[in-house]
Structure 1
Amino acid sequence: MGHMHYDEHHFNQMWNLFHRRYFVNATAAQQIRNLADDYKADQAINYYTQDSCLFRFLNEILRLENFENLFKFGCYISDLYNQLENLEKQQIQNGRQNITVFRGKKYPTQVIQQLKDSVGNLITLNGLISTTKMYNVAARFAGIGEKREGYNSVIFEFKIDSKCINLYRPCADIKTFSQFPDEKEVLFFMGFIWKIEFMDNYGTNNWYVVLESYTDYNPELTRSILDARLNYKYSDVGDILQQLSDHTSAIDFYQRMLDEDENISGQHRCHIYFNMGVIAEDSGRNLDAINYFKQANSCVKSSESVDIEESTQLKPLLVPNIAATKLHIYNNLTRVYMNIEDERSARKYFQDAVEQNGSQFEHATVLRNFGFFEFKCRKLQDAKRYLEQAVDLVKDYVCYGDFKRSLDALLTHLPTSTGTSTTSS
């Protein structure tokens, strides 16, 4: 979100979200009106450090992982990211080295156990991470010496290797922008990965945890991450939400991409419609799926082959990060028409699919799917023929065993030499 483009429309969405959230709180509502009137992008860090409804609402959204509301905060998060990134660059140019900072917080006992179980492993902490250069400030926030039933005081020590800085997400000393400069705060943007190096108990219900910044140091991975940061789109969020099975939100972000960017390429538009079709089919909305797949098909200029030899996903041909081809689209249209028992249309798109260029695995998937359909239509010999062709195409693939089991299962339904099926009725 830090590198996406936002305009007045996006800010109005955020202010409207605030007003709905604090409709019955006159003081907070007035705060939001004042902030909306006086908002300046170069004051994003200062707004975050204020004891305000912006700080509380944003952290609530991050804690609950509410993607819809988080994206409505994208315009502010982008300003915060950019200001934090620029500040970090200045501090690195001024010779910033490895740093150690602290964070104090109270946690319930179950979280303490999760931390203990994760010693030596990698973790991420939800949301923005506020830390301080002063141990006594962290101890105050941790409530050292205070008793609260079921809770423990935890002080985190964050050790940041300068080689990891500015790789994935920025962090910076924000004292000069903070509403509370005496706290000497260092703010970390979302997405940092940490390794729990050490954890120990001292006193009653007091814990000390040492976290070290972590990076792969893989230059190819670094380039990929930087490219993604510069080219992130609504459809990328849709892809993530689809993989998380949050289909309603995924459709919403795909539709935003279609509505707000008239210049997206035909290939990208095809990817969006294709994934919307897969979601619709999975949700049982077959007519919507047909419409989406047909729109995807209208965006495809050529039928290119895609080699996915290692894949054994045999249902819809959905290949993340690979453009859908006409073969993918026709295969999925065949499936949807099978679902609604439109045999004529299913056969038409099956024929269209097998005529397209594609890998052996892709053609085997089409043949296997249609073999199942012929079995459902009680055309057992046709089903056998298609499944045999599919098995022959993948004989050198890792998925051969799976295809062969499908064929063997079908053979049990075919008549034997005595004229009876090999299975009991």
Structure 2
Amino acid sequence: MNYSKATVCVLASKKAQEEYLREYLKSLEESGDNVEFFDNPDECIQSLISTQDQKYLLILGSGLCHLVDMLSSLPCILYIYLTELHNYEDPSHVRGIYSEPKQLLIKLKTDIKMIEDNDLNFSISSSTEGNMSGTTTKDIQDDKLAFDWGRVILYSVLNTRRPTENIYEEMLQECRDIYQGNSSVRQQIDDFEKTYDPNNVIFWYTKDSFLYRLVNAAFRTEKIPTIWKFRFIIQDIHKRLQTNVKYFLFGGTSSNIHHLYRGQRMTSNELKQIKDNVGHLIAMNSFLSTSEHYDLAKIWSGNGEDRPKFESVIFEIIIDEDKLKSVPIIFANITAESNFPEEKEVLLAMGTRLRIESVELEGHIWKICLHAYPFDDSLSRNVETRFPELHSSVLSDDKSAQLIIATTLLDMGNFEAAEQISQQMSSSKNPVIKIYRNFLKGYIDIYRILSTADPIQSTDIKDKLYETKEHINKIKQSLQQLKQLISPRVYSYFIRIEKQLKTFDMAIEQLLLMPLETNISDVLRFMEPIISQAIRQREVVISTHDMALNNLSMTNPMDLIDVMSQYNETLGLMTVEEMQPAINQNFTKNNPQRIGLLLMTAMKATEENKYDEAIKCLRDALLIPCTDDERASVYRQLAEVYEKQKNWPAALENYENIFRMPQLSKASSNLRLAHISTAKIYADIGDDRNAIVHYKSGVQLYCQHKSSRHRHVGSLKMLIGLKFKKLGDMDAALKTFEEVIDLDHPDQVKDAYKQIGMIYFLRKDYDMAYYNFIESLNISQREIPPDSDFIIDTHLHLARTQYLRNHFDEGCLHMSVIEDMSENHKCTEATQQQIQFLRKIFSDLQYHGQSNNRN
């Protein structure tokens, strides 16, 4: 974990100067800052371009200041400090010229403190306040869980049982591991261990020490396993705020409306993110430091002097207690307990939610107005409903809190973090926890399979869905074991296990019939309520297919499959031939419930390649009065049948019918998927410009009504970029691929960097091509398992690029890697031909003594 937000990097080729600077910068290392030294420019540059998410303050030693313009273009460089006079083109990156190490040290300490104090860890909801009002956690689960992950962690941490002894042992060991070799910080850790009292947690947290740095770094990087190790300190801080709020909140003022201020610098990207989301909610994912004094905030904000790197910002936070309902905002004036009482600090609890009211420029300072937003207790109710035995003897140790976190992370789609948490649960001696861990592992495996599927390619989705069958059976086995360990007296839990087993029985058959957009979490959330209804209905024995179907409230096709099953038998599927007569027999012609059943029948007919039957069912459905969204579902499925037949005009006509529905909600998934499918058809028939238009519409709808950072947005933008590239619009392609990189999904980022490298290669800008190919390679090499084809192909690009840069030795090194990898990996015929071609070129170069004649 990078426990400092910025690392000091020293590039000094002269040994004497390096030792001189090392001695002066020793105090930074002793206080816990990261300091790296390099004497070789190539090694330094390689380290910088391979860095992920870390920012650098770069010091250039004497004789190396000529590198300033080249290095200032690296995105990881915040500031460059020169040690001798030298001309440079871009003054925004150069902090100054410091020939005296003492002056340099003072400036570095000032900048490091400024960067750390300006560390603001937040999430912004993709929904506006108005859209979220009146909804529950489940109603907007995907958006709200990702938005409120800080509250989920806090809920779990606060409900974790504290051990009777060695409470902070796990945290202290983590701290000692991080600061291994730093005697000064390790002494602070020893002092903490000997003297710490939970009543003094505010003093320790506000102190410039390892605790403040590591807690904030854990929040900043969102590394859940690391946050978990600090859980009892987080408990202490939160409980201290709860204790203090009633005693010294604003010196005993009787007003129910409070104005707090926070002054800081923000990057232009961070500021833009807030400006673009006025009216949306922002959640603080760590404790937030503020003051009740505007003048102090103005001092901390600066006056625009750090532009263009940083903007000066003042947050005004308005808390109206009368509008906070039953769950108040936890905050307190901590001046009396702070290590810096002169700052008159007011600390807000982790998970605080605020609404962005306005963002306005006043002189040189941006003023951001935020209103505290009420948070109902649906989160805790949702968790307790999902885990009814959380506080009982069934789940009694602190592993139950990890269970909540891991499950929540799965719902957010973060299966890597969920897996890390589930691994920590392996030490539990509780048999229920052990089985639940296996249960989670089954989910994780399914998430891993489905998250790698291409949402645009139906065949890829189908392949991935087939892979889930084995994992679903493993989950069923875990649930069977769990059922045996639960006492029948825990009746509600016993019933829930039964429902889940039936859900998985159905899921095995039904996964392949679900819409392509869904993942396993959506499938299970969709089916469980239906199974619950079926169990309630089966209080009356159901024994034949001749039941009165219209006595049940069926809102979707899954009900038909459920109620048509024999009582106490494995849930089964009817054939197409059986389904159509059953629908006609039990529903009147214009009964709206027929639509869902006809859709399911058509879906099954399509799976069996009975396209005429499918089209007939769907045309019958179009004759039934229904909502616009239901009609759009029918048109979309009809278009998909025509796609199966490769009848492109008919498919496009049905998608156009969806676009011509003025009352159809823009939030409808049918509209979004219709644009994506239309784009795919145009791409298949070679009409790339129309494909781009509809891919862009799909992106816009995803951003407006799902999430602007959804991985499907990245997939679509990759397709848009490739179409621009194919059309020769390289500027538009570059812009699009850079947007993919900003979304930060590693598997897509590596592809985007590679495509950017290819564009620069075509433009004969080989330096930029090399930089982007290296970025792509670094990301691909961290994947597990590695994509050998992708890595070999990237090395081929790098070898060609180095050849054209006259860097023949480096090109040979890439060829050597290719030769080694291709011995153990079967390459495609096209790749083999490229390898042979480049092998001949580099062999000729070696034979001719690496001549610079590339012709």
Normalising to structure 1: TM-score of the pair? Answer: 0.71
SS in 2 for 1:101: strand
Map Cα deviations across residues 146-203 of structure 1 (whole Å, 9 max, x no partner).
3343211001111111233882551111111101112111000111111222322122
Separation in structure 2 between the aligned mates of residue 62 and residue 28 of structure 1, nearest angstrom: 21
Separation in structure 2 between the aligned mates of residue 31 and residue 165 of structure 1, nearest angstrom: 42
1:189 and 2:349 matched? yes
Partner of 2:500: 325
Q: Which amino acid aligns with 2:350?
A: M
Instruction: Give RMSD over aligned pairs.
Output: 4.4
SS in 2 for 1:233: helix
Partner of 1:311: none
Map Cα deviations across residues 360-392 of structure 1 (whole Å, 9 max, x no partner).
837837999xxxxxxxxxxxxx98727955996
Task: Measure how far apart 1:207 and its partner are.
Answer: 0.9
SS in 1 for 2:336: coil
Partner of 1:342: none
Mark the runs of 5 or more structure 1 residues left unpaired by the alignment. 303-320, 337-353, 369-381, 417-421
Separation in structure 2 between the aligned mates of residue 414 and residue 223 of structure 1, nearest angstrom: 48
Map Cα deviations across residues 88-128 of structure 1 (whole Å, 9 max, x no partner).
13347956532211101101112222222222332223321
Task: Measure how far apart 1:51 and its partner are.
Answer: 0.8
Partner of 2:203: 46
- For 2:443, which of 256, 278, 298 is the aligned residue? 278
- For 1:202, which of 350, 357, 362 is the aligned residue? 362
Partner of 2:306: 147
Separation in structure 2 between the aligned mates of residue 39 and residue 366 of structure 1, nearest angstrom: 62
- Check whether the contact 1:99–1:159 (CA below 8 A) recurs between aligned residues: yes
Q: Which amino acid aligns with 1:294?
A: Q
1:126 and 2:285 matched? yes
Separation in structure 1 between the aligned mates of residue 612 and residue 383 of structure 2, nearest angstrom: 60
Partner of 2:215: 58
The alpha-carbon distance between structure 1 residues 260 and 384, as it changes in their structure 2 partners (threshold 3 A), is closer
- For 1:298, which of 469, 478, 481 is the aligned residue? 481
1:404 and 2:572 matched? no
Separation in structure 1 between the aligned mates of residue 581 and residue 248 of structure 2, nearest angstrom: 61
The alpha-carbon distance between structure 1 residues 278 and 366, as it changes in their structure 2 partners (threshold 3 A), is farther
- Check whether the contact 2:224–2:421 (CA below 8 A) recurs between aligned residues: no
- Check whether the contact 1:118–1:196 (CA below 8 A) recurs between aligned residues: yes
- Check whether the contact 2:483–2:497 (CA below 8 A) recurs between aligned residues: no
Partner of 1:375: none
Q: Which amino acid aligns with 1:161?
A: D
- Check whether the contact 1:98–1:161 (CA below 8 A) recurs between aligned residues: yes
SS in 1 for 2:350: coil
Partner of 1:385: 575
Map Cα deviations across residues 326-360 of structure 1 (whole Å, 9 max, x no partner).
21244457799xxxxxxxxxxxxxxxxx9xx7478
Normalising to structure 2: TM-score of the pair? Answer: 0.37
SS in 1 for 2:245: helix
Separation in structure 2 between the aligned mates of residue 241 and residue 294 of structure 1, nearest angstrom: 23
Partner of 1:373: none
The alpha-carbon distance between structure 1 residues 102 and 333, as it changes in their structure 2 partners (threshold 3 A), is same
Separation in structure 2 between the aligned mates of residue 412 and residue 283 of structure 1, nearest angstrom: 30
The alpha-carbon distance between structure 1 residues 119 and 252, as it changes in their structure 2 partners (threshold 3 A), is closer
SS in 2 for 1:5: coil
Task: Measure how far apart 1:140 and its partner are.
Answer: 2.1
Task: Measure how far apart 1:11 and its partner are.
Answer: 2.0
SS in 1 for 2:202: helix
| 70-79 vs 122-131, which moves further | 122-131
1:71 and 2:228 matched? yes
1:17 and 2:174 matched? yes
The alpha-carbon distance between structure 1 residues 223 and 29, as it changes in their structure 2 partners (threshold 3 A), is closer
Partner of 2:418: 250
| 30-39 vs 93-102, which moves further | 93-102
SS in 1 for 2:236: helix
Q: Which amino acid aligns with 1:236?
A: I
The alpha-carbon distance between structure 1 residues 62 and 282, as it changes in their structure 2 partners (threshold 3 A), is closer
- For 2:274, which of 115, 119, 135 is the aligned residue? 115
Partner of 1:171: 331
Q: Which amino acid aligns with 1:250?
A: A
SS in 2 for 1:300: helix
The alpha-carbon distance between structure 1 residues 389 and 161, as it changes in their structure 2 partners (threshold 3 A), is same
Partner of 1:159: 318
Separation in structure 2 between the aligned mates of residue 9 and residue 169 of structure 1, nearest angstrom: 31
1:28 and 2:185 matched? yes
SS in 2 for 1:325: helix
| 57-66 vs 21-30, which moves further | 21-30
- Check whether the contact 1:101–1:133 (CA below 8 A) recurs between aligned residues: yes
The alpha-carbon distance between structure 1 residues 122 and 106, as it changes in their structure 2 partners (threshold 3 A), is same
1:262 and 2:426 matched? no
Q: How do residues 193-232 of structure 1 correspond to structure 2 at under 5 angstroms?
A: 193-204=353-364, 206-215=365-374, 221=378, 224=381
- Check whether the contact 1:367–1:389 (CA below 8 A) recurs between aligned residues: no
- Check whether the contact 1:365–1:390 (CA below 8 A) recurs between aligned residues: no
Aligned residue-pair number: 365
Larger relative contact order (Cα-Cα within 8 Å, sequence gap ≥ 6)? 1
Partner of 2:632: none
SS in 1 for 2:338: coil
Q: Which amino acid aligns with 1:2?
A: L
- Check whether the contact 1:270–1:324 (CA below 8 A) recurs between aligned residues: no
Partner of 1:309: none
Larger helix proportion, structure 1 or 2? 2
Separation in structure 2 between the aligned mates of residue 234 and residue 397 of structure 1, nearest angstrom: 44
Task: Measure how far apart 1:234 and its partner are.
Answer: 2.0
- Check whether the contact 2:605–2:611 (CA below 8 A) recurs between aligned residues: no
- Check whether the contact 1:167–1:222 (CA below 8 A) recurs between aligned residues: no
| 31-40 vs 389-398, which moves further | 389-398
Task: Measure how far apart 1:66 and its partner are.
Answer: 1.5
Task: Measure how far apart 1:299 and its partner are.
Answer: 2.2
The alpha-carbon distance between structure 1 residues 12 and 153, as it changes in their structure 2 partners (threshold 3 A), is same
Separation in structure 2 between the aligned mates of residue 165 and residue 58 of structure 1, nearest angstrom: 30
Q: Which amino acid aligns with 2:602?
A: R
SS in 1 for 2:575: helix
Task: Measure how far apart 1:410 and its partner are.
Answer: 3.2
1:3 and 2:159 matched? yes
- Check whether the contact 1:391–1:400 (CA below 8 A) recurs between aligned residues: no
Task: Measure how far apart 1:256 and its partner are.
Answer: 4.7
Mark the runs of 5 or more structure 2 residues left unpaired by the alignment. 1-156, 392-399, 450-466, 487-495, 512-530, 538-553, 566-571, 588-592, 614-641, 646-855
Task: Measure how far apart 1:260 and its partner are.
Answer: 3.9
- Check whether the contact 1:388–1:407 (CA below 8 A) recurs between aligned residues: no
Separation in structure 1 between the aligned mates of residue 317 and residue 328 of structure 2, nearest angstrom: 17
Partner of 1:341: none
SS in 1 for 2:355: strand
